[in-house]
């Protein structure tokens, strides 16, 4: 059993080989948090961990007890206003204007497996033996609001998945104004906070903060998880690093407005909250209705940040991503966007695809500009009908021509948006999110369709499903190029307008679910102007995402490094693009562009016809290399060894499951002269295996490479002369280490 309930002490203990999570029913019926961390032995009574003492100026629950103040007790579902002055996990606005609630224990149940969440992405099990679930029911007797707190502990790994579901069993309506998915109260705040932050073209950079008294928080109010912040944080002990030490990771499986917050109080305890951002959120709950929060995943590791990341990678790759493409190596693709932008014909596309086929590319993707009157970004969005002036035989005809080349065909869409210059908008101007009497802001000359309305989602579904059912489409790149403004629906009453942001995301999830269910063999890639919605919620429907519109190799090192903190390498769309790069106008070597993109879902974002014969030869070698090693690169155990945020060099590596093959990526941003000799200590090898180094031909034991290190010195260590291979800025190398008998 992974979940134990001790009846006498009223204590729950969730545990496996990695983690213990211990809770207690308090004397007032609330649920208290006693311990979360490294696995410890079970015992009948952990109540000694509930420390109470009389404190001056504290408000206390019981008339004759000066020690029981919720201000100083760690809790699972805290509310504000009943002696706890910290930020709450839940707030319920009642008809009389009160926001005070008292949720007391009613019952619990423990069972094998993991239930699905209604209308929301979540981790899952394929066999009930993989996990156990505890559902604890709390109820506020005055209002009749019942809450089910769900905890799933997986048999393997330090993983606890949490969510809440609210039921109105009372006689009156209430409004949920705060409904977090996770609250974790910890006894001290000696942690460094790690977040993934940035903006368009520089997403998910690793940022560190030292926690101190007060609030540390990230979030989004843009309607999408955003380029600026990612719904993931890590808390690491100051002594922890990539290889060792205690780390907590929190990931929210959600694609809309979110909040992740740490609050350190005056007595040095730490409260972590994760869930839907309460700013602008107001969900009306009528009698008989229920509301389900998204799932939050808590990971504990005592093996450093790599240990935490590998736990997330394994879980999200195998038990969050789903379907036909979950475990399959991803096809090498060529996307025409940076090759042509809107300036293309069918013959031009086939010419690009023919050259890609010659180089061994497996999938050709037609990007923006194939539909309606879409000759620029001013028109056509919403009219998902092929432009026969550009494609005389439509998508079906082009797809057939690509298939006849021996390649698969893919298509770009942006289903959530509309241009005002479109037949769809002219027919349904009320289908966009827009506030009456207010300015209608645009982004990239487009407006957001009201996906909180079923008829809107149904219409878009029918249009795109018609194309996918008629044409041989094997891949869909699903883009989303602007955040939500003027968030107002023309059909919902005034007291439900606070639901629109969440209802919008539920509509997106519904459309994804319907399309992926009807077309299970299509590979969906999520995209949001690059990385604006690269989150765990999307991964449930699309097993890979376009990590960033910035394809510059030097910038992508940082973006992909940060992304790997939480998300598996197989989920990271990464392409080789033209030089000078179209985002930063930088020139980097062709081999470095490939060496970065190998660690992801690999492809090309250029017209290969424009490369020299020597470059085409190199591309063919790159494609062969990727085909040979992509299973390891995409699904192997991934280690970060040197951070691009801390120096001029960056190193990462992937190791096969049997530890017989390892691929090390080494990157240096700026060239050096008369530099030091360099080496890097590898990870994940079998210490008793001997490995042959593809760069040098030398053979080393695994323990040598992990303890002495892999030598990466080159001609910059001194003065390059004679037969020394010259180096340049943005240099890189791939070391393949193969076990030898």
Judging by DSSP bridges, how do beta strands 690-693 and 679-680 pair with one another? unpaired
Intra-chain end-to-end CA distance of the chain, in Å: 42
Specify the 3-state DSSP secondary structure of 367. Answer: coil
Give the SS3 label for residue 349: helix
| Radius of gyration (C-alpha) of the chain in whole angstroms | 27
| Sequence-ordered list of residues with C-beta below 8 angstroms from that of 642, at least 6 positions apart, any chain | 649, 650, 651, 652, 680
Using an 8 Å Cβ cutoff, are 211 and 217 in contact? Answer: no
d(CA 459, CA 382): 10
- For residue 608 the two structure tokens come to 């290969």
Quick one: CA torsion of 464, 466, 469, 472, rounded to 10 degrees? -60
Q: Residue 494 corresponds to which tokens in the numbers above?
A: 């005034």
Distance CA 709, CA 107 (A): 55
Q: With beta carbons less than 8 A apart as the criterion, state whether 305 and 196 touch.
A: no
Total length of the chain: 741
Distance CA 711, CA 677 (A): 8
User: Which is the catalytic residue, given 479, 552, 607, 714?
Assistant: 479
Instruction: Please state at what angle helix 590-597 crosses helix 553-563, rounded to 10 degrees.
Output: 10
Annotated catalytic residue within 302, 368, 549, 552: 549
Q: Which residue has the tokens 């991964």?
A: 539
Q: Which of 440, 437, 416, 420 is nearest to 428 (CA)?
A: 420
DSSP string, 577-646: E-SS-TTT-----HHHHHHHHTSSEEEEES-GGGS-HHHHHHHHHHHHHHHHHHHHHHHSEEEEEE-TTS
Tell me if residue 509 falls in helix, strand or coil: helix
Q: How far apart are CA 53 and CA 146, in angstroms?
A: 31
Cα(499)–Cα(317) distance, integer angstroms: 31
Record the tokens describing residue 74, joined without a space: 């760690």
Burial class for 240, CB neighbours closer than 10 Å (0-12, 13-18, 19+): buried
Backbone dihedral angles phi then psi of residue 550, each to the nearest 5 degrees: -85, 110
Is 549 designated active site? yes
- Rounded-to-10 torsion of CA 305, 311, 313, 318: 180
Q: Is 450 a catalytic residue?
A: no
Return the DSSP state at 87: P
d(CA 319, CA 330): 18
CA–CA dist 132, 151 (Å, integer)? 8
Q: Three-state secondary structure along 3-56?
A: EEEECCCCEEEEECCCEEEEEEECCCCCEEEEEEEECCCCCCCCHHHCCCCCCC
- Element containing residue 439 per DSSP (H, E): none
> What are the catalytic residues?
479, 549
């Amino acid at each position: 059993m992974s979940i134990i309930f001790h009846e006498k002490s009223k204590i729950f203990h969730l545990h496996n080989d990695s983690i213990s999570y211990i809770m207690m029913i308090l004397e007032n019926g609330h649920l208290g948090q006693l311990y979360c961390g490294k696995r410890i032995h079970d015992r009948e009574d952990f109540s000694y961990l509930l420390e109470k003492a009389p404190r001056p100026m504290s408000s206390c629950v019981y008339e004759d007890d000066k020690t029981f103040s919720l201000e100083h007790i760690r809790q699972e579902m805290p509310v504000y206003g009943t002696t706890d002055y910290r930020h709450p996990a839940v707030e319920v606005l009642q008809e009389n204007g009160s926001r005070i609630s008292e949720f007391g224990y009613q019952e619990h149940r423990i069972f094998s497996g993991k239930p699905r969440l209604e209308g929301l992405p979540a981790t899952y099990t394929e066999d009930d033996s993989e996990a156990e679930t505890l559902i604890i029911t709390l109820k506020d007797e005055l209002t009749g609001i019942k809450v089910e707190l769900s905890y799933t502990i997986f048999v393997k790994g330090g993983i606890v998945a949490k969510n809440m579901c609210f039921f109105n069993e009372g006689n009156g309506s209430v409004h949920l104004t705060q409904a977090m998915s996770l609250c974790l109260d910890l006894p001290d705040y000696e942690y460094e906070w790690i977040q993934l932050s940035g903006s368009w073209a520089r997403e998910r950079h690793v940022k560190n903060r030292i926690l101190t008294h007060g609030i540390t928080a990230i979030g989004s109010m843009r309607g999408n998880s955003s380029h600026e912040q990612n719904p993931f944080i890590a808390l690491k002990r100051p002594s922890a690093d990539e290889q060792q030490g205690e780390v907590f990771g929190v990931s929210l499986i959600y694609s809309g407005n979110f909040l992740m917050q740490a609050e350190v109080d005056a007595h040095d305890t730490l409260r972590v909250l994760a869930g839907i951002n309460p700013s602008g959120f107001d969900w009306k709950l009528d009698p008989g209705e229920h509301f389900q929060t998204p799932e939050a995943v808590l990971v504990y590791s005592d093996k450093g940040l790599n240990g935490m990341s590998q736990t997330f990678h394994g879980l999200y790759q195998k038990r969050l991503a789903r379907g036909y493409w979950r475990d399959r190596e991803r096809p090498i693709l060529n996307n025409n966007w940076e090759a042509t932008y809107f300036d293309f014909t069918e013959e031009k596309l086939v010419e690009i695809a023919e050259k890609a086929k010659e180089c061994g590319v497996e999938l050709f993707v037609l990007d923006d500009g194939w539909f309606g009157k879409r000759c620029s970004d001013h028109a056509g969005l919403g009219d998902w009908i092929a432009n026969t002036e550009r494609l005389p035989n439509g998508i079906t005809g082009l797809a057939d021509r690509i298939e006849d080349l021996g390649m698969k065909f893919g298509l770009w869409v942006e289903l959530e948006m509309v241009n005002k210059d479109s037949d769809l908008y002219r027919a349904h101007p009320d289908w966009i999110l827009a506030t009456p009497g207010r300015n209608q802001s645009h982004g990239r000359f487009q407006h957001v369709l009201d996906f909180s309305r079923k008829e809107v989602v149904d219409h878009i579904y029918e249009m795109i499903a018609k194309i996918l059912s008629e044409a041989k489409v094997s891949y869909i790149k699903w883009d989303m190029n602007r955040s939500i403004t003027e968030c107002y629906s023309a059909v919902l009453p005034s007291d439900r307008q606070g639901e629109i942001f969440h209802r919008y995301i539920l509509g997106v999830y519904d459309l994804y679910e319907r399309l992926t269910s009807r077309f299970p063999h299509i590979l969906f890639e999520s995209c949001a102007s690059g990385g604006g919605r690269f989150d765990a919620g999307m991964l449930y429907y699309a097993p890979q995402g376009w990590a960033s519109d910035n394809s510059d190799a030097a910038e992508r090192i940082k973006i992909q490094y940060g992304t790997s903190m939480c998300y598996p390498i197989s989920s990271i769309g990464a392409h080789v693009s033209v030089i000078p790069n179209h985002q930063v106008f930088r020139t980097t070597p062709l081999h470095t562009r490939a060496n970065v993109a190998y660690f992801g879902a690999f492809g090309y974002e250029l017209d290969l016809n424009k490369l020299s014969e020597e470059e085409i030869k190199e591309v063919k070698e790159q494609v062969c290399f990727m085909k040979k090693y992509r299973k390891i690169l995409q699904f192997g155990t991934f280690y970060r060894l040197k951070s691009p945020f801390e120096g001029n060099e960056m190193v990462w590596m992937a190791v096969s499951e049997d530890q017989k093959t390892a691929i090390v990526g080494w990157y240096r941003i700026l060239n050096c002269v008369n530099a030091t000799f360099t080496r890097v200590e590898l990870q994940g090898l079998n210490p008793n295996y001997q490995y042959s180094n593809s760069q040098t031909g030398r053979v080393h034991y695994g323990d040598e490479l992990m303890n002495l290190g892999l030598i990466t010195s080159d001609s910059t260590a001194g003065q390059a002369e004679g037969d020394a291979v010259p180096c340049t800025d943005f240099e890189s190398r791939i070391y393949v280490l193969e076990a030898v008998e």
